[in-house]
A = this chain, B = another copy of it.
Amino acid sequence: MISKSQIKLIHQLQSKKFRKREGLFVAEGPKVVGDLLKRFQPSAIFATAEYKETLGNNNIEVTEVSEDELLRISFLQHPQQVLALFPLSDDTSKVTVDTSKLALALDSVQDPGNLGTIIRIADWFGIDTIYCSEDTADAYNPKVVQATMGSIARVKLVYTDLLSLFTTLPPSYPVYGTLLDGDDIYSQDLSKEGIIVMGNEGKGISQPLRKFINHRLLIPSFRKGDTAESLNVAVATAITCSEFRRRS
């Protein structure tokens, strides 16, 4: 049985303002919730009797809900057995870059679907951290959480001022970006560590940030004559990550 105040709280968590205030985000379905449970302690779980059984007896308190109740709290068209609330990270320590690893940085990626797909790509290619500009879509938006298909459990999202962050990097630390005047990515040496910057859907990488890019990459088009003007940002991220990893 779920209370009215719980229903109200969950509905409010659709908004970033309320997620910040409550320090919580929503995850749904056995796959996404299951992946998060492997790493994080939930604040609340609302599950059908069927799903509750699969959890066994591991000290997690579960509120049993009917299909109708689940439908009332779910953000999905077809609710999937479980909705859980997880705490947002309250890590306020200074952001630093682990310079031994490959990471992604997103400069104002706006579309929640693109962000979710990029998190899934980072997971697949073993990239642990994504630095996001403050104006990038919020990864804890229920739409993004679901679009990651559970990858949000394994990839750390760090929202920060990218310009300030980049000034902390060691001199000549590799910062990559895909730009129209870049060098053919297929024939470049790509390092095992570094930051790959991906830009906004319409405007690409912002001018101030471009100054930090010391390796300009181009994914060449193979069509003769007029062609697509650009690739979707998630698609460009996938091809770039694939190129880095196949050489490792």
Q: Which residues of A contact B (CB under 8 A)?
A: 31, 35, 38, 113, 117, 120-121, 123-126, 149-151, 154, 186, 219, 221-224, 226-232, 234-235, 238-239, 242-243, 245-246, 248
A52 to chain B, nearest CB (A): 23
Q: How many copies does the complex hold?
A: 2
CB atoms of B223 and A124 under 8 A apart:
yes
User: Are the C-beta atoms of B124 and A227 separated by less than 8 Å?
Assistant: yes
How distant is the Cα of A125 from the Cα of B219 in the complex, in angstroms?
A: 10
Do A223 and B120 have beta carbons less than 8 Å apart?
A: no
Determine whether the beta carbon of A223 is less than 8 Å from that of B125: yes
Establish whether residues A242 and B245, one from each chain, have CB atoms under 8 Å apart when the complex forms. Answer: no
Closest 3 CB pairs between A and B? A126-B222, A186-B246, A126-B223
Name 10 interchain pairs, CB-CB below 8 A, sorted by A: A113-B113, A120-B228, A124-B219, A124-B222, A126-B221, A150-B228, A154-B228, A186-B246, A219-B242, A232-B234
Residues of B within 8 A of A245 (CB): 222
Residues of B within 8 A of A224 (CB): 126
Establish whether residues B121 and A231, one from each chain, have CB atoms under 8 Å apart when the complex forms.
yes
B residues less than 8 Å from A150 (CB atoms): 228-229
Closest B residue by C-beta to A232? B117
A103 to B125, CA, bound (A): 26
Residues of B within 8 A of A223 (CB): 123-126, 154
A121: chain B residues within 8 A (beta carbon): 231, 235
Contact B231 A238 (CB under 8 A): yes
State whether B186 touches A228 (Cβ < 8 A). Answer: no
Given contacts A126-B223, A154-B227, 14 further A-B contacts (CB under 8 A): A113-B113, A120-B235, A123-B223, A124-B227, A125-B221, A125-B223, A151-B228, A154-B223, A154-B226, A154-B228, A186-B246, A234-B235, A239-B242, A242-B243
Instruction: A121 to B235: give the CA distance in the assembly, Å.
Output: 8
CA of A154 to CA of B222, assembled, Å: 13
Q: For A113, list chain B residues within 8 Å (CB).
A: 113
CB of A148, distance to nearest CB on chain B (Å):
8
Instruction: Return the chain B residue nearest A234 by Cβ.
Output: B235
Q: Decide: A123 near B228, CB < 8 A? Known: A222-B245, A222-B248.
A: yes
A35 touches B235 (CB 8 A): no
> Considering the chains assembled together, what is the distance between the CA atoms of A219 and B120 in angstroms?
14
